[in-house]
Amino acid sequence: MDEKIEDIEEIIGKYMQAGEILSTVRSEAKEKVKIGTTLLEVADFVEQRTIELGGLPAFPCNISRNDEAAHATPLIGDETVFAEDVVKLDLGVHIDGYIADSAITVDLTNENSDLVKASEAALYAAIDIIKNGINTAEIGAVIEDTITGHGFKPIANLTGHGVGQYLAHVPPSIPNRHIGQGVTIKTGDIFAIEPFATDGAGKVADGTLTEIFQVIGHKPIRLPAVRKVLKELEQYKTLPFARRWLKSDKLDYSLMQLEKAGIITSYPVLKDVGGGLVSQTEHTVIVTDDGCKVTTK
């Protein structure tokens, strides 16, 4: 067999392995999302179970509730517990940098099943039409039409995304709404589709809380405490990390200095601007000639 083909098959195998681990962890974690359980307990379980099964977290476990759409993860020592919340559980697993990304919504209110179904139906409607040669505009149209058909709005300024080695977000963007012009998808493309449905405004903005960061550049750093944190970040390469993962002293100061220097960027919690409830459902897919393979099913 051609060496290049062998390499491709090995890489696809790692994407599939990451997806299998994620599927197991997602199923087990869903059962732990219960009223009275701490968010930190669930996040710790997700991240540790991922490691036990032979993977590594591709990003911090996101646990976004109610009007939060994304980028929420527990703080250091967080004692917050689940209440009657609409909970988005967004998980990432990687094998040697090859990423699986998936999300589910758990309705602890028992009153928002239609909202949950809207994002689920949109995801599967998109998966049904994906194949070599389809345009991302077609995917976005199907997602929006499905969500509005369920009586809700898509979140217009959130998208799905490609994944690359040690890169959680790369082109193409997969819109959750009708757009004028997209890009053509081809066999072998790997991306995450993640429809968000809301009974709110259909647009998110940054909240006040930030617990997730990512290394985006390199510069010499003079301050020893900041250098120590930067050294600790090397293990995550270009993948997102959580403040609670870090052990260094002067952590908040160091992260502030690293962001100021353009070495890291931060990801504030994203919230629906109308205060509406948000649901999310997500899978990672590999495009084939006549369809796609879901790595995270």
Q: Is 161 a catalytic residue?
A: yes
pTM: 0.95
Q: Is 194 a catalytic residue?
A: yes
Amino acid at 82: F
Binding-site residue ranges: 71, 90, 101, 161, 169, 194, 282
Q: Quick check: 102 and 163 in contact, CB under 8 A? A: no
Check 85, 138, 144, 169 and give the catalytic one. Answer: 169
Check 47, 94, 161, 211 and give the catalytic one. Answer: 161
Binding-site residue ranges for substrate: 71, 169
pLDDT at 1 over 50: no
Beta strand 264-272 pairing with 241-242: unpaired
pLDDT tens readout for residues 118-169: 999 999 999 999 999 999 999 999 999 999 999 999 999 999 999 999 999 9
Q: Is 7 a catalytic residue?
A: no
Radius of gyration of the chain measured on its C-alpha atoms: 19
Which residues fall within 8 angstroms of residue 62, CB to CB, at 6 or more apart?
A: 70, 71, 72, 73, 88, 89, 90, 91, 103, 212
- Res 3: pLDDT: 47
Percent of the chain with pLDDT over 70: 98
How big is the CA angle at 252 (ends 90 and 40), to the nearest 5 degrees? 35
Beta strand 283-288 pairing with 190-193: antiparallel
Tell me how far apart the alpha carbons of residues 178 and 280 are, in angstroms, rounded to a whole number: 18
Token representation of residue 15: 């994407």
Binding-site residue ranges for a divalent metal cation: 90, 101, 161, 194, 282
Q: Is 145 a catalytic residue?
A: no
Tell me how far apart the alpha carbons of residues 42 and 30 are, in angstroms, rounded to a whole number: 9
- Res 6: pLDDT: 61
Check 90, 107, 144, 211 and give the catalytic one. Answer: 90
pLDDT at 197 over 70: yes
Domains annotated for the chain, with CATH where assigned, are 3-207+270-294 (3.90.230.10), 208-269 (1.10.10.10)
pLDDT at 5 over 80: no
Q: Is 272 a catalytic residue?
A: no
- Res 238: pLDDT: 97
Mean pLDDT of the chain: 97
Check 144, 194, 199, 272 and give the catalytic one. Answer: 194
- Structure-token match 């020592």, residue found: 77
- Res 115: pLDDT: 98
Buried b (16+ CB within 10 A) or exposed e, 47-73: bebbeeeebbbbbbbbbbbbbbbbbbb
pLDDT at 19 over 80: yes
Check 101, 144, 211, 272 and give the catalytic one. Answer: 101
Q: What is the mean pLDDT of residues 238-258?
A: 96
pLDDT tens readout for residues 43-75: 999 999 999 999 999 999 999 999 999 999 999
- Res 104: pLDDT: 98
Max CA separation in the chain (angstroms):
56
Q: Is 101 a catalytic residue?
A: yes
